[in-house]
A and B are shown apart, each in its own frame.
Chain A
Amino acid sequence: MKETLYDKIWNDHYILDNDDKSSLIYIDRHLIHEVTSPQAFDGLDIKKREIWNKKSIMATTDHNVPTINRDQGIADPVSKIQIEALRDNCKKHNIELYDLDNLKQGIVHVIGPELGMTQPGMTIVCGDSHTSTHGALASLSFGIGTSDVEHVLATQCLNLTKEKNFNIEINGKLHPYITSKDLILYIIGSIGTSGGTGYTIEYTGTTISDLSIESRMTICNMTIEAGAKSGLMAFDEKTHGYLKDREFLPSTKHYDKALQYWETLKSDDDVEFDRKDIFDAGDIQPQVTWGTSPEMVASVDECIPSSESINNEEEYLDTLSYMGLKPKTEIKSIELDKVFIGSCTNSRIEDLRQAAEVVEGEKVSKQIKQAIIVPGSGLVKAQAEKEGLDKVFMNAGFEWRDPGCSMCLGMNDDFLQPYERCASTSNRNFQGRQGDKGRTHLVSPGMAAVAAIKGHFYNVKDFMNEK
């Protein structure tokens, strides 16, 4: 029988069927961070349970950490307790922790692939919904809650019900300066934030083949914003190229065998999916979200839609009132207070290069109160500094920070004040996400950079042509 990539990875990790239609599935890699793990470790302690396989676990501090003045320690006492709980738990159980003093510390979904802990064909979980990111390396990866974190710690397995197969095929060439961020925002705008609920989405097509692995990660990352827990992409030469020389890759002894296995990680030709949608990359312009759900998105040259195009008028008006915007406003006329370039969606070296290309020789608009760049990891930061990108940003008036989740969710000191408006390369524009009453517009790194320079939204393609 023909199989999808999802079917293959599922079958390779299948142990047995339970009575209730769920199956026991083995988990290869478990990533943990400070926010969703303390209650899970407590649970183990209470029941006096052991961890099944410590070597499958990698821990980092990311959600809650300061991105500035780290030598002064963590000022917020509540954050400090949580971070210290992770340190204690890792020490007690002998788990590898990439802490603030480690060059390799960073956002869990940036460092997993970067260090080669994310490998094709693996099942990977983390107490974080953006675990979908790792699917770009042909691994079945998804976010779990804290009870499941505890379950994986204790059993190395989860009882899962198989999702349906959804294929999103994208063909054609993206226009210059249009990125995978625009592509995934466009797709979410089309299928909606619950379009992928109950499915695992596999992305295929010539556009995906042409994209780098880092760009592919941005798409898988935001798959959860389309309602699906996992996004997947087949293993190909680019995947292989990306993996080469990563620290935790299989040793030479097993490498050829691993590679042989990885090369099988694609859907069979002509396999049937439960659902299939096709997109043309040539249709896509730079995207900007205007509301409080990622599906509320438009091209930068368009206007905020009128209420006729929305099902629920009351909700539409509530959204615009929260966002401080009026129907039919031109996106380009929206003025910003802050700019955030970072998050597990867009904080990798390619993202910073895209932003730097725009920023080179320019200045941040006087209207912008703060523009910050938060690299996804210490290694990304070091690479950017090696290329001189930090200078480009700082000369323009950006702040150059230490790695962490930062203003994507504002658990640390980087957050919006009430009613501030932010161009953000992150993944969620929910009410209060970046700070109480804060207003978020999701965009690509290039679009965020242009917004910082202009003080309002502007088409990055036009900006670069005029430059």
Chain B
Amino acid sequence: MKSRSYHGQVIPINRDNVDTDLIIPKQYLKSIKKSGFGPYLFDSLRYKDTATLDSNDKREENLDFILNKQPFREGNILVSKTNFGCGSSREHAVWAIQNYGIDVVIAVSFADIFSRNSFKNGLLLISLDSQTIDKILKSSLSSSAYVLDVKLSEDRILLPDNKEIPFSISDSYKERIINDLDDIELTLKHKDQIKNYEDQMKLIKPWLFNNE
């Protein structure tokens, strides 16, 4: 397995239940593309005004919001608390995070559908205990720069004070992030088994097929 690591500034989002409406508001879900969502990440917190996909020229930034401050603006490791990504199934939330340039999200816990969407797109999610998260949030908020080294192949994070934090991640998740797999192709390798299953079901549950 190739080694993969992420080095960069933490963006602390010090709250529980960061929901997908907050990550990317609904007016941007009208896009039929997978890209271009970066400017709208945390839109309602980031800007004082609102925009739409076809009217977004001049935005007034909310300078109190963390993403509009240095050095956080250039951060690529987002850190938050419990139940991150709760709410709707919009994959646009993951795309917005990735489009912005964020490589890793570290939180106490993640919502199920958001986790799955992140997995599908190779966005690295890491769960850590709440004491460690609180420490990272506090340190990053109180220092001008707070840079982490996330070493995926070694399952550990290196803090600025050189302390190491281990994390656990499944091999399949790791493989996906490193190798950019085509899920559909992998599943279609089982085409015959899927067809066999269908043939069986046509006998057992015939009403499910062709509205017979």
Contacts and interface: CB of A to CB of B under 8 A. Distances in A.
Interface of A: 15-16, 19-22, 24, 26, 28, 35-36, 38-39, 42, 47, 49, 52, 55, 63-64, 76-79, 81-82, 85, 119, 121-122, 127-129, 131, 142-148, 150-151, 154-157, 159, 193-194, 197-198, 224, 227-229, 248, 250-251, 253-255, 257-258, 261, 293, 311-312, 314-315, 318, 409-411, 428, 430-433, 436-437
B58 interface: no
Interface string B130-171: 000000000000000000000000000000000000000011
A227 B117 contact: no
Given A36-B90, A254-B206, A430-B21, A148 B32 contact: no
B112 interface: yes
A216 B53 CA distance: 38
Nearest to B209: A55
Contacts, number: 190
Contact of B194 (A20, A26, A131, A250): A26
Given A36-B90, A42-B32, A410-B26, A145 B207 contact: no
Contact of A24 (B50, B187, B201, B208): B187
Contacts of B22: 430-432
B34 A128 contact: no
B64 to A, nearest CB: 12
A145 B83 contact: no
A55 B211 contact: yes
Nearest to B117: A145
Contacts of A198: 112
B15 interface: yes
A254 B205 CA distance: 8
Contacts of A431: 19, 21-22, 44
Interface residues of B, number: 60
Contact of B44 (A251, A312, A436): A436
B7 to A, nearest CB: 27
A145 B183 contact: no
A104 B123 CA distance: 39
B117 A82 contact: no
B187 A147 contact: no
A82 B52 CA distance: 14
B112 A229 contact: yes
A411 B207 contact: no
A146 B91 contact: yes
Given A194-B109, A315-B15, A411-B27, A430 B87 contact: yes
Given A42-B32, A194-B111, A159 B86 contact: no
A35 B93 CA distance: 13
A20 B44 contact: no
A26 B112 CA distance: 20
Contacts of A77: 54
Contact of B21 (A28, A78, A432): A432
Contacts of A293: 17, 19
A391 B162 CA distance: 71
A121 B32 CA distance: 33
Contacts of A121: 205
Nearest to B184: A154
A437 to B, nearest CB: 7
Contacts of B82: 194
Contacts of A315: 15-16
A35 B197 CA distance: 31
25 contacts: A15-B190, A20-B170, A20-B172, A24-B190, A24-B194, A35-B30, A55-B209, A55-B210, A63-B29, A77-B54, A81-B32, A129-B88, A142-B113, A145-B89, A145-B91, A148-B116, A194-B109, A197-B109, A229-B113, A251-B207, A254-B207, A255-B207, A293-B19, A312-B81, A436-B25
Contacts of B184: 47, 49, 150-151, 154-155
B97 to A, nearest CB: 13
A16 B195 CA distance: 12
B88 A128 contact: yes
Interface string B78-120: 0001110011111100100000000000000101110011001
A145 B94 contact: yes
Interface in B19-68: 19, 21-22, 25-27, 29-34, 44, 50, 52-54
Nearest to A163: B112
B188 interface: yes
A111 B103 CA distance: 39
Nearest to B115: A197
B53 A78 contact: yes
B8 to A, nearest CB: 25
Contact of A36 (B15, B27, B91, B201): B91
